[in-house]
Amino acid sequence: MNKNSLWPKTKFFDLFQTEHPIVQGGMVWVSGGKLAAAVANAGALGLVGAGSMKPDLLRQHIRKAQSLTQKPFGVNVPLLYKDAQLQLQTALDEGIRIFFTSAGSPKTHTAWLKAQGATVVHVAGTPELALKCQDAGVDGVVLEGFEAGGHNSRDELTTLVLLQQINNKINIPVIIAGGIGSGAAIAAALAMGADGVQIGTRFAATQESSAHAAFKQAMIDAGSAATFLRLKKLVPVRLLHNSFSETVRQAEDNCADAETLSQILGKGRAKLGMLDGDLEQGELEIGQIVSIVRSIPTCQQLLDTLTDEYRAAKSRLCNS
Ligand SMILES: Cc1cc2nc3c(=O)[nH]c(=O)nc-3n(C[C@H](O)[C@H](O)[C@H](O)COP(=O)(O)O)c2cc1C
């Protein structure tokens, strides 16, 4: 239960005993143990992003986070990767009981994880999938609009539209994601009935994220329309514009099929871009809200700013 009067008493606080109703989304190559622990220490829910990790590496990141914080944190497991089951088992073995699953069916692992005492939240990009998540017995759902960085839904539903579509249709806690970059946006989300928010891009642009320094600088330099949804015939992903994404755009304009796109993508592009810092040939996953990134704060500084902005937004409404 939230004892902090700053926030409304939403269902988020029934699930997670954090100071803020804010989740740092799992992010391949970007959210290791250091980021998850820093977010937890700053009062929000941090997630280790297992997507880019073999089970042994995931174990190391979980242990690192455990050595850096006493607060609870979770693990995000995108279910599309072949190691997903092993990643879940590894995290369970290491004592993790908070799971954010994504990119797969909520039916596959939820009952099993819950039988181990875990809290399970699944990411959905449509109201239909959110309802299936509820039917599958998850504890909460992340409703993710296509403004978001990383892989997202083919249906291109925006965060605000999704939230209005789902209104009053589900009983489990709703956490919205995609384009949340300020405390005012958090106030809007909560006013519209969300129980909490999940933020990726703004946490990718922090000191503790493992994004390459060149990628962080590219986030600061990004213009207002610097990202595009690409690879819809494979797995749709929002990317910062660069030579690689331009090659994909040209192929897509020429009606390239999934196999051709898969050849253009090749292997290891996401690591090349986000971790190794190849700004031209790498895949740079980031959300539309990157356009407001102007500096690379610590997680504590970012959360302080978000809460100050949230307070200001609340008082604007109260004074009107
Ligand atoms: C670099 C990056 C990598 C991501 N990787 C994952 C991932 O591995 N699993 C996942 O469920 N979501 C992933 N996401 C989505 C985030 O968890 C989060 O839902 C999203 O970033 C929220 O939207 P925002 O970027 O507008 O804040 C990723 C996002 C980014 C920016």
Same domain, 105 and 133: yes
Residue nearest to atom 4 of ligand 1 (CA): 27
pLDDT, position 45 = 98
Same domain, 185 and 262: no
pLDDT, position 91 = 98
CATH code assigned at 142: 3.20.20.70
Burial of 234 (0-12, 13-18, 19+ CB in 10 A): middle
Same domain, 135 and 158: yes
Closest to 123 measured CA to CA, from 147, 98, 140: 140
Taking 50 as the pLDDT cut, the residues of the chain under it are 1-3
What are the phi and psi torsion angles at 75 (to 5°)?
-130, 135
Asked whether residue 302 is assigned to any structural domain, the reply reads yes
For 286-315, how does the pLDDT look when each residue is reduced to its tens digit (9 = 90+)?
A: 999 999 999 999 999 999 999 999 999 999
Same domain, 174 and 270: no
Number of domains present in the structure of the chain: 2
pLDDT, position 319 = 77
Asked whether residue 4 is assigned to any structural domain, the reply reads no
Same domain, 164 and 252: no
Residue nearest to atom 5 of ligand 1 (CA): 27
Q: Work out which ligand 1 atom sits closest to the CA atom of 26.
A: 17
Domain housing 54: 12-210+295-319
Same domain, 190 and 221: no
Same domain, 125 and 151: yes
> Can you spell out the DSSP letters for 213-277?
HHHHHHHHH--TT-EEEE-TTSS-EEEE-SHHHHHHHHHHHTT--HHHHHHHH-SSHHIIIIIT-
pLDDT, position 85 = 96
Residue nearest to atom 7 of ligand 1 (CA): 27
CA of 125 to the centre of ligand 1 (A): 12
Same domain, 173 and 196: yes
CA of 177 to the centre of ligand 1 (A): 9
Same domain, 183 and 89: yes
CA of 151 to the centre of ligand 1 (A): 7
CA of 318 to the centre of ligand 1 (A): 33
Same domain, 134 and 17: yes
Mutate to test the pocket of ligand 1, among 27, 186, 206 (most ligand atoms within 8 A of CB): 27
CA of 203 to the centre of ligand 1 (A): 10
pLDDT, position 1 = 40
Asked whether residue 144 is assigned to any structural domain, the reply reads yes
What are the phi and psi torsion angles at 210 (to 5°)?
-95, 15
pLDDT, position 4 = 60
